[in-house]
Chains A and B, each alone.
Chain A
Amino acid sequence: MPPRPRLRLSGVISGKFDFEARAAALFLLPVTVVLVAVAVFPIGYSFYISLFQLKLTRPHRVPFVWLDNYAKILTDELFWSSAWRTFSFTVMSVTAISILAVLIALLLNETFRGRRFLAIILVAPWAIPTVANGLMWKWIYDSSFGALNGALLQLGMIDKYVVWLGDPEKTLPLIANAFVWKEVPLASILILVTMKSIPADLYRAAKVDGANVLQRFIHITLPSLRPGFMLVFIYETMMAIRHFDLFFILTEGGPAQASHVASWHIYVETFRNLSFGTGNALAYVMAIVTFALAYFIIRTLGRRL
């Protein structure tokens, strides 16, 4: 019986892939290694950690608890209330951002003197660092020396200084306002770019057919903005759900849990309580929800693209 030829790995690879494919794989290898090290491994490892009752201050007792951390989260009243607050914050923020972005884009889409200057002014909030933005709004909302109270008092709209962030009814809308202010410029640019791509012929034809401004807006502009809206909805929804900075700077989850949103909940659990097991489980839940929402938006808005 003749000896069987030994199968060598290099032989198999060179037999299956041509030179170009092998060279491409070789060039892709370094970046793949980096991606695995900095993205894939941490994502996998964080899931692994979420299966343990890992509290950094209890280093000698780290039991494997299967999915108990997830069960604990889903039966926690504070988790559901924080999820509801996140939902409210996201809805009010994304709605306001979308409406304002369309209005600004409509304005910037027109030709008038000073349009470029106005565009620069409108984009300025986007360039401000988030932390600086948070500190600025903290000063504006301050109940004893804030600019908002000062302005409203001078305009005669209030007769004495009002407590803003300390009022649980106002806290979330006020933080949403600061968030919208920062996010509107990018959304406006995305909408404007989409608006510019609408063929002028459509408007001319509609005019010929006797459509007024409002009809042209409803029947031509809005449907044509669908790709831009999809981008804005996905991006801003994800930003709003994950947003943390303003909650940290303005209220630290207060007063009385009025701004205790999901991202704050994760922060407290992970970095204040140092409970890495539940913290990672919470982060996974949040990631799944965000992914599901993005998928839903693409399936609904992107369906007819």
Chain B
Amino acid sequence: MKESTRTRLGCREFLRYSSVAVVAGFLTVGAATTTLAAEESINFNGWSAAVDLVESHITAFEKKTGIEVKYGNLPWAQYRDAMVTKFVGKAPLDVMWVSDAWLPEWAEAGWIQPVDQFKELTKYNSDVDKFCTDSMTYKGQQYGLTYYTDYMGFFYNEEMLKKAGIAKPPETWAEVVEQSLKIKQAGLSEYPLMLAMANESWLIEFLSAMVFSQGGVFTDDAGNAIMQDPKKGAVEALKWVVEAVQRQKIVSPATVETGELAGLKSFAAGNHAFALEPKYRLRMLNDPKQSQVAGKVKQILMPKGPNGSHATVGWMRFYGVSKHALENPERAKNVVKFVEWFGGKAEGEYRFQKFLLTDIGAGFCTRPLFDDPDIRASYAKYAKIDIIAEQQRLARKKDVITPWFGEWNEFNGAMWQSAILDQISPEEALKKSADKWQTLKREQ
């Protein structure tokens, strides 16, 4: 009897307390929603790069505007997959770093939105290199504002060239061969040219730089594969690499297992005379704490092929804006402010881009910054800014960035490797690669 009374009382208590809890819960959620609606905080995601720098710039933004920013970062290796999962799961994302390689995929899925209607953002286009704006543009619409950019640069070890009696660095790919053979014969390096041709995400940048400088392309203006074309395509570039590995032996046969980082370390150890590397690596290569060839590494314009130019490939990472961000006008307004603070000017200057270069050596698109005294002083420590600016002017957007890029890229890398290993001819490799491209294009 006593027990049943206790039970009844318990039920009543439970109901009473739970009612109070529900009401309190509603009040709290209501208050929180009101606060959120008033402030419209921004969810910003990036990969784990320059995290301290980003956080301090966010803090400055929050102080200046009173807008709260929720910042999350993920390792680069998992970033794309994690973001796609978040998009599919409808996570509240507003602003995120986007690689140019993912732009068509994310734009086609409707995950990121064009920013053409925001003049506060597009006004900066007049200050940036063409390939930068091109790299953020898909189907005629611009999808963001620059985070950082860079391009493939051609470096040489000045001391090694001098020891081999070479007075002037090469201007053409033919001269690269000639000088490499001289260096090899002098016993200064077994494989004078370092090319990192492992099938990783860097590979397409290396290949594009080689192809563009040989005067070729992968695709035409209509997006059809012409890489297999012996005159206009990528055949010349691939033939050159195959000759360099198999016949002239100026590039190591281990090139197909050498990733960008391993290649960089090998060059920094003084094993090679020439290297094709992302330009921002120049800072590390001329840093005595990290490189055995510090102070000896110089950049020159990309060597050119018989029908080519000093062109190279450039890439872009930018601030993209999600559909979620633009759904609410208040939030959209805040998001635009945030993107401008990072990708454009903050308090009248390109502050974050300057920070990126001076702190970690990451490149920028904004041409006026090449005249900035701080930037010039920073570059002067390890490079010649005029060469850097000139090469950047000659950088081009990758012509293979499409929704099917990732799938084709995997296959294309394997085909280039097959040719480099002499398993198939360059013509056959590029024919297969072109066929794959057209198949994927049709499927899309």
The chain A residues found within 8 Å of chain B, CB to CB, are 56-60, 143-144, 163, 165-168, 251-257, 260, 268, 271-274
Contacts and interface: CB of A to CB of B under 8 A. Distances in A.
17 contacts: A57-B403, A60-B109, A144-B266, A144-B271, A163-B252, A166-B253, A168-B423, A252-B200, A254-B199, A254-B256, A254-B413, A255-B417, A256-B256, A256-B415, A256-B423, A268-B410, A274-B81
A181 to B, nearest CB: 20
A166 B257 contact: yes
Interface string B343-371: 00000000000000000000000000000
Contacts of B87: 59
Contacts of A58: 108-109, 403
Given A59-B88, A256-B414, A165 B81 contact: no
Give the size category of B's interface with A: 20 to 34
A75 B381 CA distance: 57
Nearest to A56: B84
B406 A59 contact: no
Contacts of B105: 57
A256 B198 CA distance: 9
Contacts of A60: 109-110
B84 A274 contact: yes
A254 to B, nearest CB: 5
Contact of B418 (A59, A165, A256): A256
B421 interface: yes
A254 B257 contact: yes
Interface in B56-104: 81, 84-85, 87-88
Contacts of B189: none
Nearest to B409: A272
B254 interface: yes
A268 to B, nearest CB: 6
Contact of A260 (B81, B414, B421): B414
A268 B81 CA distance: 12
Nearest to B190: A160
B257 A165 contact: yes
A225 B88 CA distance: 53
A251 B417 CA distance: 13
Interface in B21-54: none
A84 to B, nearest CB: 16
Contacts of A274: 81, 84
Given A252-B198, A255-B417, A273-B410, 14 more contacts: A58-B108, A143-B252, A144-B254, A144-B266, A165-B257, A168-B421, A168-B423, A254-B256, A256-B256, A256-B414, A256-B415, A256-B421, A257-B418, A273-B406
Contact of A256 (B108, B109, B252, B417): B417
A1 B293 CA distance: 106
A254 B414 contact: yes
B257 to A, nearest CB: 4
Nearest to B266: A144
B109 A166 contact: no
B414 A163 contact: no
B257 A271 contact: no
